[in-house]
């Protein structure tokens, strides 16, 4: 029996069913909660999200979760919009995000299409336990119009018109711009690695 307590913080229009099923396929239950006490008590925290940055960070402020997320010491994984919220902000809207990672999300160029939607490959920048067993050229599923430039916290990158951060991390904080819950075996491996942190 796992002693992990995985809590996902609902943000935006995330596909909660897909996230739940992805963890259940790994034998791991996951709770969805906006209660700061529940989030603080988790062993692993997931910040999934689909939508726009400004309303999502406003929702975290309204629920009293911004300082809670900033102070977590347990592993934290942001997915898609959730990853962008881990950074300093976004061109998509006014205001600051969580500031746990360095950089601001920018609008991707329309090459070959905008938004960037579909399967694409990763190229690792540095070794990380989150990417254990995931090789360059593995395929992941993306749906996004904004992305983080390659920077100091980039663990792996991808290209759609320009190179951008596909996986980020520093300390206990990690993010993936793609949807691991929709990325078949490679996505399952990344989520399993997260649970092992």
pLDDT score of 2: 63
pLDDT digits (tens, 9 = 90+) for 60-118: 999 999 999 999 999 999 999 999 999 999 988 777 999 999 999 999 988 777 888 99
| Structural domain containing residue 134 | 6-196
Residue/partner pairs of 29-35 with CB below 8 Å, 24 or more apart: 29/2, 30/6, 31/5, 31/6, 31/7, 32/7, 32/8, 33/7, 33/8, 33/9, 34/9, 34/10, 34/63, 34/65
Maximum Cα–Cα distance across the chain: 47
Mean pLDDT computed over every residue of the chain: 93
DSSP the chain: -----EEE---BT--HHHHHHHHHHTT--EEE---HHHHHH-SEEEEEEBS-HHHHHHHHHHTT-HHHHHH--S-EEEEEHHHHHTSSEETTSSS----SSS-EEEEPP-SS-SSEEEEEE-EESS--GGGTT--TT-EEEEEESEEPPS-TTEEEEEEESEEEEEEEEETTEEEESS-GGGSHHHHHHHHHHHHH-
Residue 28: inside a domain, yes or no? yes
Instruction: For residue 144, name the pLDDT band (cuts at 50, 70, 90).
Output: very high
Residue 105: inside a domain, yes or no? yes
Instruction: For residue 161, name the pLDDT band (cuts at 50, 70, 90).
Output: confident
Residue 108: inside a domain, yes or no? yes
Residue 164: inside a domain, yes or no? yes
Residue 1: inside a domain, yes or no? no
| Distance set, CA 55 to CA 110, 132, 176 (Å) | 24, 34, 20
Residue 137: inside a domain, yes or no? yes
CATH number where 48 lies: 3.40.50.880
pTM of the model: 0.95
Instruction: For residue 1, name the pLDDT band (cuts at 50, 70, 90).
Output: very low
**Domain count of the fold of the chain:** 1
Active-site amino acid positions: 80, 179, 181
Residue 10: inside a domain, yes or no? yes
């Amino acid at each position: 029996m796992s002693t992990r307590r995985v809590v996902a913080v609902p943000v935006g229009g995330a596909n909660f069913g897909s996230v739940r099923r992805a963890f259940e396929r790994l034998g791991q239950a996951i709770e969805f909660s906006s209660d700061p006490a529940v989030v603080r008590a988790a062993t692993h925290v997931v910040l999934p999200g689909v939508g726009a940055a400004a309303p999502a960070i406003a929702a975290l402020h309204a629920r009293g979760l911004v300082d809670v997320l900033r102070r977590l010491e347990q592993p934290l994984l942001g997915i898609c919009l959730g990853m962008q919220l881990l950074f300093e902000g976004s061109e998509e809207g006014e205001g600051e995000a969580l500031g746990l990672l360095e950089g601001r999300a920018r609008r991707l160029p329309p090459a070959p299409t905008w938004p960037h939607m579909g399967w694409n490959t990763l190229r690792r920048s540095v070794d990380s336990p989150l990417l254990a067993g995931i090789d360059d050229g593995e395929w992941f599923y993306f749906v996004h119009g904004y992305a983080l430039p390659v920077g100091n916290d980039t663990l792996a990158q991808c290209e759609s018109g320009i190179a951008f951060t596909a996986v980020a991390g520093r300390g206990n904080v990690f993010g993936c711009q793609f949807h691991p819950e929709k990325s078949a075996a490679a996505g399952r491996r990344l989520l399993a690695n997260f649970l092992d942190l």
